[in-house]
Amino acid sequence: MEIIKVEGLRKTYIVGDVKVHALRKVDLTVNGGEFVSVMGSSGSGKSTLMNLIGCLDTPTSGTYALDGKQIDKLKKSQLSDIRNQKIGFVFQGFNLLARTSAIENVELPLLYDRRGRIKDPSGKAREALDRVGLLDRLDHEPSQLSGGQQQRVALARALVNEPAIILADEPTGNLDSRTSIEVMKVLQELNEQGITILLVTHEEDIAAYSKRIVRLRDGIKIEDKPVSHVRSAEKDLMEMKDINNGLNGQGYVEE
Amino acid sequence: MRTVNLLKVAYKSIIKNRMRSFLTMLGIIIGVGAVIALVAIGQGTSAEVESQVSALGSNLVMVMPGSSHMGGVSRGAGSINSLTLKDVEKLKSESEYIAEVSPLVRASGQVIALGKNWSSQTNGVDPNYLIIKDWEMENGTFFTKRDVRSRAKVAVLGKTVADELFEESDPIGQKIRVRNIPFKVIGILESKGSSMMGDQDDVILVPSTTALYRMTEGKNVSMIMVSAVNNEVIEEAQAEITSILRKSHKLKDEDSDDFRIRSQTEIIDRVSSVTGALTLLLGAIAAVSLLVGGIGIMNIMLVSVTERTKEIGIRLAIGARGRDVLIQFLIEAVLLSLVGGVIGIIFGILLANGASHFMNMGVVLNPFISFMAFSFSGAVGVFFGFYPARKAAAMDPIEALRYE
């Protein structure tokens, strides 16, 4: 099933008198259950593509269908509803509401849901936090949480509305390598549970945990191929633990 | 978003910046408080003046001598003494709308009793003067028609005079002397308090004929006090008095009146139009401060919107519509102004009570004015909150998310 179908997508910004072509005729199809990384250096157009797919922006030309629904002609308020119901965002800077508890942050998308089907928002938020392993941090505010925990709260917020796709924009950009792998582990687990993920990153190490890599340069797709050996974040974490334990043990024996 | 959540978000944001919220509200608090306190004081003053005027007597109509003209020069009120006891008799016998008539003969002079003295107004009146003035006796009796016929030397004292001359001892039966004429005190009037006409209790009442023939030249009365049959016919009574007196004074058609008529309603109307204008003026000044308070709210909401750009970006990204954001900030502004309004009402009531307590001012607290001030403060919140809220709602989510 095609979750994302983008054809001939263009985005041109006009800065002063100069036209900046951020995206030139990009085609991309993402199927249900995929875990795709979009890579490229800064200025390659990956953020623009992300904003278009995330319905935060509208393309200059081209078509875009999300979960079978044509959305390049929708109004602003309709785009809000699409973002609310079909997309879960994870950002580099976590973007949680300050001085607001984890559970209230996670509830937020449910409160903006106009379909009004959610009877018990805090129950659903609790469920989502359970999925990212933060059930014991429900009432903590972002300032009381580590970077990795904050990103997991953000993940829970992205999950809570059962979106068609999770869009993660450099989710590990602000984290150390170990915590990065922890976050990737959560993403891999979610993907195994059937959730479609589109990840934007410029780190090869991080992209290696996804199943398919799309490379952009100067607004054009230059490569699109599956990852031959998908790394397992869980295994990497175990190894890191073993190395630490090993080192400690060895050092102890030598003395 | 549901109202409960919106209110929670607004409440949180107000609490988060306690000091700032309070200072913002202060504009509204002072505005609403000022409206309520000043209108209460204004209306209190009006009510007080009106009650004082009605204390002058019920359905009262006063006839005073008019002004005379000498070769085109007006010599002012009272320059001719046109009113006589004959006029009083004519008014009594010929009128239809008049209930009671009493002459009033003014004779001022020093009053002496038991070695003390006091300068007071001595008025010669008829027994029905009490009815006209709606006055009661505190002690003793009033003089009778017989006393008037016999020009009896009896006096009834106002409260102030009685207190000044006799202090603790009972004045009834005592002798006083006014302009060396001895009078026997037969009664004390109950206190009427002071009005804008001065202390109404600083007066000595004696029979009209006594004052007229023993204390003045015996020709003219100073005033004629009339009470109309009831409130509705005061104008008819005035017309009637005019025609009776013109006939009695043998005035020709082209002559102007040589007397003036003042009714109590006329005085009340004039006074209340002045106090009404005063109340309006006070209210308007206070309303301006409410407006300034509104501008304060707009200012702080603009700051708040800029400060929370990132939050707005997050909300928009996760699916808030522009309208949701608009309503959120509007509710915050309205909540600020309504809370300010409630505190302002309490503040205004305290202020008004303080004024009545410490400055002895008459105060009328009008619930309608409180309601109006409260609604107006809400409207101020909507009006001045709308522009900042719209600014927030129109933000581009990408730009807003990038804001640091």
Q: How far is B333 from chain A (nearest CA, A)?
A: 20
CA dist B215 → B124, B144, B212 (Å)? 9, 19, 6
Q: Do B322 and A80 touch (CB under 8 A)?
A: yes
Mark yes or no for CB contact A112/B401 under 8 Å: no
Integer Cα distance of B189 and B242 in angstroms:
32
pLDDT at A207: 94
B366 to A44, B31, B352, B359, B363: CA distances (angstroms)? 69, 16, 11, 20, 9
* A112–B314 C-beta distance less than 8 A: no
| Per-residue pLDDT reduced to its tens digit, A5-17 | 999 999 999 888 8
Q: Which residues contact B231 (CB under 8 A, 6 or more apart)?
A: B59, B265
CB of B317 within 8 Å of a chain A CB? The answer is: yes
Q: Which of B5, B318, B401 sits opposite A109 (nearest CB)?
A: B318
The reply to whether B8 touches chain A by the CB within 8 Å rule is no
Closest to B13 in 3D by CA, of A102, A98, A94, A143: A98
Q: Length of chain B, please?
A: 404
Q: Indicate yes or no: pTM above 0.80.
A: no
Asked whether the predicted pLDDT for residue A252 surpasses 60, the reply is no
Q: In chain A, what residues touch B1 (CB-CB under 8 Å)?
A: 111-112
A13 lies within 8 A of chain B by CB: no
> Which residues from chain B sit within 8 angstroms of residue A156, using beta carbons?
none
d(CA B8, CA B309) in angstroms, rounded, equals: 19
CA within 13 Å, CB half, B333: 33
Q: Convert the pLDDT of each residue in A161-209 to its tens digit.
A: 889 999 999 999 889 999 999 999 999 999 999 999 999 999 999 999 9
Residue of A nearest to B6 (CA): A111
Q: Do A112 and B16 touch (CB under 8 A)?
A: no
**pLDDT confidence of residue A254:** 41
Percent of chain A with pLDDT over 90: 71
Please tell me what DSSP assigns to residue A136. Answer: G
Q: Is the pLDDT of residue A210 over 80?
A: yes
Residue A31's CB is within 10 A of a number of other CB atoms, namely 13
Task: Tell me the sheet residues that pair with B105.
Answer: B124
Q: How far apart are CA A110 and CA A85, in angstroms?
A: 9
A96 to B314: CB separation less than 8 angstroms, yes or no: yes
B318 touches chain A (CB under 8 A): yes
Chain B residues inside the 8 Å CB shell of A109: 318-319
- Round to whole Å and give the CA distance between B13 and B8: 9
Cβ atoms of residues B43 and B368 within 8 Å:
no
* Domains of chain A in sequence order: 2-248 (3.40.50.300)
> Taking CB atoms and an 8 Å cut-off, how many pairs form between chains A and B?
57
Taking the Cβ of residue B14 and every Cβ of chain A, the question of whether any pair is shorter than 8 Å is answered with: no
Q: Across the interface, which of A51, A100, A108 has its CB nearest the CB of B318? A: A108
Query: d(Cα B186, Cα B146) in Å, to the nearest integer?
Result: 14
Of B2, B319, B322, the CB nearest to A76: B322
For A157, which residue in chain B has the nearest alpha carbon? B318
Give SS3 for B54: helix
- Residue B113: the pLDDT is 85
- Between positions 110 and 129 of A, the ones with CB within 8 A of B are 111-113
**Cα separation, B342 vs B220, whole angstroms:** 62
Measured between CB atoms, does B320 come within 8 Å of chain A?
yes
**Which of A108, A119, A157, A161 is the best residue to mutate to test the B interface, defined by the most B CB atoms within 10 Å of its own CB?**
A108
Are A51 and B398 in contact (CB < 8 Å)? Answer: yes
Helix (H) or strand (E) holding A109: helix A102-111
**Rg for chain B, CA atoms, rounded:** 33
**Tell me: the pLDDT tens digits for A48-66?**
999 999 999 989 999 999 9
Kindly report the average pLDDT of chain A as a whole number. 90
Cβ-defined contact of A84 to B316 (cutoff 8 Å): no
- Residue of A56, A81, A112 with shortest CB distance to B1: A112
- ipTM metric: 0.91
User: What would you measure as the largest C-alpha separation in chain B, in angstroms?
Assistant: 105
Tokens at residue B21, please? 């919220």
Q: Does residue B1 sit at the A interface (CB-CB below 8 Å)?
A: yes
Residues of B in contact with A162 (CB under 8 A): none
User: Inter-chain contact B398–A56, Cβ cutoff 8 Å?
Assistant: yes
Calculate the dihedral angle through the C-alpha atoms of B72, B77, B82, B86, rounding to the nearest 10 degrees.
Answer: 150
pLDDT in tens, A130-158: 999 999 999 999 999 999 999 999 999 99
Q: Give residue A214's pLDDT.
A: 96
Write down the pLDDT at residue B191.
Answer: 85
On the 0-12 / 13-18 / 19+ scale of CB atoms within 10 A, A227 is middle
Nearest-by-Cβ selection for B314 from A76, A80, A97? A97
Residue A251 scores a pLDDT above 50: no
Which residues lie closer than 8 Å to A189 by C-beta, 6 or more apart? none
What are the start-end ranges of the H helices in B213-359? Answer: 234-248, 264-307, 309-317, 322-358
Which residues in B lie closer than 8 A to residue A85 (C-beta atoms)?
319
Residue with tokens 């796709």: A165
Render each residue's pLDDT in chain B as its tens digit; 404 residues: 677 888 888 888 888 888 999 999 999 999 899 888 888 888 888 888 777 777 666 688 888 887 655 555 555 555 566 788 888 888 888 888 888 889 999 887 788 887 788 888 899 999 988 888 888 888 888 988 889 888 999 999 988 888 888 887 888 888 888 888 899 999 998 887 766 567 788 889 999 888 888 888 778 888 898 888 877 788 888 888 888 888 888 887 777 778 888 887 777 778 778 888 888 888 888 888 888 889 999 999 999 999 999 999 999 999 999 999 999 999 999 999 999 999 999 999 999 998 888 887 778 888 888 898 889 889 999 999 999 999 999 999 999 998 87
Please tell me if residue B116 touches chain A, with a CB cutoff of 8 Å. Answer: no
What is residue B216's three-state secondary structure? coil
Provide CB contacts within 8 A for A105, sequence distance 6+.
A96, A97, A142, A153, A154, A157
Structure tokens at B359: 């400055």
Asked whether the beta carbons of B105 and B221 are under 8 A apart, the reply is yes
Q: Which of B297, B233, B362, B319 is nearest to B31 (CA)?
A: B297
Assign A243 a pLDDT band (cuts: 50, 70, 90): confident
